[in-house]
Structure 1
Amino acid sequence: MISYLGRRAAYMAATLVAISLVVFVIINLPPGDFVTALTAKYNVMGQGLTEADIAGLRVRYGLDGNVFEQYWHWVTQIVQGDLGTSFEYERPVADVIGPRLGATIGVSFVTLLVTWGLAFPIGVYSAVRQRSIGDYAVTTVGFLGLATPNFLIALVFIYFSVTWFGSVPSGLCSPEWCDSAWNLGKLLDLLGHLWIPMIVIGTGGVAGLVRIIRNNLLDELHRPYVTAARARGVPEKQLLRRYPLRVALNPFVSTIGWVLPMLLVGDIVVGQILGLPTLGPILLGALRSQDMYLAGSIIMILSAVTVIGTLISDLLLGWLDPRIRMGIHQN
């Protein structure tokens, strides 16, 4: 196991280096840079900049060197724990993303719990009651949930909210509660706003996990060992808990790799539509303005969390599934 962890740590480091290169290249693919966008903005406002002004801005934002120098400067800053300074906000990146981390993790964590809490029993029921009316209903709703984009569901919620209540759902709190200290009133107000992004973001996740659990459990229920256990007279509920259901837990564990970054960034488009104070809208704005330190730092954080989540997922799968654990020990 120790040698396995050592190899995975080396793979993680190499993966993050490769990701940093890809991220930096993609962010710099559009023509121009932040200074180019800033110059165009000043021109639209009728405040033309001279060549000296533009050169000074490039020196100020560290864009006067070539691409390799900019990449090296950015990577060395990250290694030292400095995420750099946001061009657009003119503040350290850590100060820009810090206040939104709590809201992002809170929304995504609650959504994750609800998603898992709904998907697991529904998926098990659909598999055990195969070809029943409930199974057909779950399958139909699951296909609709997978086929419908989350942002479209968000727009539907906004439409009905405006039609029925005359207001647009936005943010996670009412204006009168946003700056107040935490108390029972603010908590109730938060819960009143939280259910909309929870349903919108969680719909696709519930539908996808239900399909995975149903298919995996159906596959296990037709295995020879299940047939043999039934022939020995093992009660159906005990048989389901001891063997096939343990295998059905694998999808939950294997999703940790992509669930952890979702806890940090959430759904970018839904966050933009619903006005959520999460990292998604900030990342979208940073990509638009080519704020490479802000966008690159967020993407690198998400990449690191994804790699770590994948490692945790592999270890938990090895603990949960003896077949995987034996493969790890053999290596």
Structure 2
Amino acid sequence: MLSYIGFRVLQVIPLLFAISVIVFIIIQLPPGDFLTSYVDQLKLSGNDVDESMIMNLTSQYALDKPLYMQYFIWMKNILLHADFGTSFQYKMPVSAVIGERLLLTMAISFISMVVIWLIAIPIGIYSSTHPYSPMDYAFSLIGFIGLAIPGFLIALILIYTVYSQTGVAITGLSSPAYAEAPWSMAKVWDMVPRMIIPVVIIGLSGTAGLIRVTRGMMLDELSKQYVTTARAKGLSERKLLWKYPVRTAVNPLISTVGWTLPTLISGEAIVSIVLNLPTTGPILLNALMVQDMYLAGSFILILSVLTVLGTLLSDILLAVLDPRIRYGGASA
């Protein structure tokens, strides 16, 4: 087991280095940069452009250095000082821009993930043990609807319906009285009921997909010979179900941790824009649009690192649950 974990950790180190290089190249691919766009906007608005200011900004953000030097400066600050750079657009450190929004995004996404698992797995198990029953068809119908309708459309329908019936706007995570207020328990309790709608919308498609995966895996396991043998030996149906097929069927669910971790940060950008949520998704989208290099690059790097770490965590959990994976990794 330890040799398998050590082997997987050693694989991650060069992968993270390669990802950091690719991320830096990607954010440099669009023509121009934020400073060029900023100067063009000043000229179009009729304002005078101070050449000394441009030179100072160019030197401050190391834009006058070769690309490889910019990369090494960026990575050195991240590794040694946890400094992701300064946002061009906000003129603030990247960590300060995303700090509060990061916590809100993680809270919404984590609650959504827990709700998805608590709802989808029992429904998937029930559907597999009662195939082609009326409830199985009903859950399948709900699942197909959840997969087919995009989350932002559901958000728009809910906003319109609630506002037309009650005159209350359900956008945002805080009521107007607490929108600009400092953090307190009163603000947190004000936020709790407003988190229900984004959690439901974000969790709907995830729940629908997970129900189908769980149902399919369970049906496949229940048709195998070891289940028939266990029944023939007189093992109770409940004990048989939870001891063998469920344990094997959760393997694909554990493997999804690799892409679940980055979603805790990125969230649903379009849903967040529609619901006017103060999360990281809209900031990432805007940073990409205005070529805010350090802000966009930091987001992409964090998401990529979380994907790699999530995949590593998935592999370790799968090795704990399934000895076949552990032995295969040791022999490799």
Mapped pair 1:271 → 2:272: yes
Q: Does 1:162 align with 2:139?
A: no
- In the alignment, the residues of structure 1 paired with residue 4 and residue 85 of structure 2 have an alpha-carbon distance, to the nearest angstrom, of 34
Is residue 2:331 matched to residue 1:330? yes
Q: SS of the residue aligned with 1:177? A: coil
CA gap 1:171/1:87 in 2 versus in 1, 3 angstroms: same
Report how far residue 284 of structure 1 moved.
1.2
Aligned partners of 1:310, 1:181: CA distance in 2, in Å?
A: 34
Q: 1:227-306 alignment to 2 at 5 Å?
A: 227-306=228-307
Decide whether the 8 Å contact of 1:209 with 1:251 is kept in 2.
no
* Shift, 1:24, TM fit: 1.7
Q: Deviations over 1:169-215 (max 9, x none)?
A: 222111212415533x5444222201110011111110111111000
How big is each residue's C-alpha offset from its partner over 1:30-60, in whole Å with a ceiling of 9 and x where there is no partner? Answer: 2110111111221232214266654443223
Asked if the contact 1:39–1:48 (Cα under 8 Å) also holds between the matched residues in 2, the reply is no
Is the aligned partner of 1:30 residue 2:41?
A: no
Match of 1:220 in 2: 221
Q: 1:57 to 1:177 in 2, by over 3 A?
A: closer
Name the amino acid aligned to 1:182: S
How far apart, CA to CA, are the structure 2 residues paired with 1:188 and 1:227? 51
Scaled by the length of structure 1, what TM-score is found? 0.93
The 1:320–1:6 alpha-carbon spacing in structure 2 relative to 1, beyond 3 Å, is closer
Deviation at 1:274, TM superposition (A): 1.2
Matched, 1:182 2:166: no
Tell me the secondary structure at the aligned position of residue 178 of structure 2.
helix
Give the TM-score normalised by structure 2: 0.93
Q: Tell me how far 1:25 sits from its aligned partner.
A: 2.0
CA distance in 2: counterparts of 1:175 and 1:216, whole angstroms: 47
RMSD: 1.9
Q: Secondary structure of the residue that 2:5 maps to in structure 1?
A: helix
Identity of aligned pairs, percent? 48
Q: Distance in 1 between matches of 2:184 and 2:34?
A: 39
Rounded Cα–Cα distance in structure 2 between residues aligned with 1:296 and 1:192: 34
Q: What secondary structure, in the 3-state scheme, does the structure 2 residue paired with 1:176 have? A: coil
C-alpha distance 44-155 of structure 1, shift in aligned 2 (>3 A): farther
Cα distance in 2 for partners of 1:170, 1:19 equals: 36
Q: How many residues align?
A: 330
Query: Match of 1:72?
Result: 72
Inter-partner Cα distance in structure 1 for 2:56 and 2:183? 43
Q: Structure 1 CA distance, aligned partners of 2:214 and 2:55?
A: 58
Distance 2:184 2:90 in 1: 28
